[in-house]
Amino acid sequence: MSRTAVLYRMVTPEHICPFGLRSKDLLERKGYKVEDHHLSDRQEKDKFKQQHNVETTPQTFIDDERIGGYDDLREYFGKGEAGQTGTTYTPVIAIFAVAALMTLGWLFGAGESLLSMRSLLLFIAVSMTLLAVQKLKDLYSFTQSFITYDLLAMRWLRYGYLYPFLEAYVGIAMIAQLPAWWVAPVSLLIGSVGAVSVFKAVYVDKRELTCACVGGDSNVPLGFVSLSENLFMIAAGVLMLAM
């Protein structure tokens, strides 16, 4: 016999509660038949909250027992907190993984060797471009984090606003295979300043900071990954000049 759960959630022409949809999905995945009750306006919602002495919706009931909202439902089924909590490397891993796949797809489509100096430079270029986009989506938020550890941005705040554009320029210029002397000096500059800044903040001053490498609203810890990003830029500059 299928078990039954009763769910009350907000559904109006203007708003569909995302936590209500998540609660319904979770219940169905756990094998419950859901009696789905829609609260169609604010008055109906307020009446429900007053009747059951709750502050929020959605609310789930199982065997006439009130379980609670979406977080309570996850706890009921022994799941952890929803969403991203604490520090994580997920955004960086996602960007580098997509950059690697884009590089392989690009080279495969062009009939070029997948293992060459060109493939390495293309991977760095795509990675830098994707990282720059993450910073450019909210420059203020990015600079708020960046100026707390970048040595040049501490002295000249406008460098924090300029940095994502320089990073995007290097990445796009590398993809376009512009002359090395147009690109390598910029890559070496921002990579060197960044590497020294991260090394000092993390390994000398022992500060625990979040990295602005994927934007200012991330929970990526400042450390080896951040240092690697800057070392990639330095390596790209050196390789471009050498080639």
**Can you give the CATH number for the domain in which 16 is found?**
3.40.30.10
Contact indicator for 151, 195 with CB cutoff of 8 Å: no
Is there a domain that residue 41 lies in? yes
Domain that holds residue 167: 90-242
Same-domain status, 107 and 65? no
Same-domain status, 107 and 221? yes
The C-alpha torsion from 62 through 67 and 69 to 74, rounded to 10°, is -90
Same-domain status, 44 and 119? no
Is there a domain that residue 84 lies in? no
Look at residue 226 and tell me whether its pLDDT is greater than 90: no
Same-domain status, 129 and 216? yes
Q: Order the strands of the 59-62 sheet from edge to edge.
A: 32-39, 3-10, 59-62, 65-68
The CA distance from 157 to 151, in Å, is: 10
Q: What local confidence, expressed as pLDDT, does residue 23 receive?
A: 93
Contact indicator for 122, 129 with CB cutoff of 8 Å: no
Contact indicator for 190, 233 with CB cutoff of 8 Å: yes
The tokens of 165 are what?
Answer: 């554009």
Model confidence pLDDT, tens digit, residues 187-206: 999 999 999 999 999 889 88
Is there a domain that residue 67 lies in? yes
Tell me which of 83 and 223 has the higher pLDDT.
Answer: 223
Cross-strand partners of 32: 3
Same-domain status, 61 and 104? no
Stretch (H or E) spanning 67? strand 65-68
Is there a domain that residue 58 lies in? yes
Q: What local confidence, expressed as pLDDT, does residue 104 receive?
A: 92
User: Is residue 75 left, alpha or beta, with left meaning phi > 0 and alpha meaning psi from -120 to 50?
Assistant: alpha
Same-domain status, 37 and 157? no
Domain end marker among 32, 51, 76: 76
Same-domain status, 95 and 72? no
pLDDT tier for residue 85 given thresholds of 50, 70 and 90:
low
To the question of pTM greater than 0.85 for the whole model, the response is: no
How many distinct structural domains can be found in the chain? 2
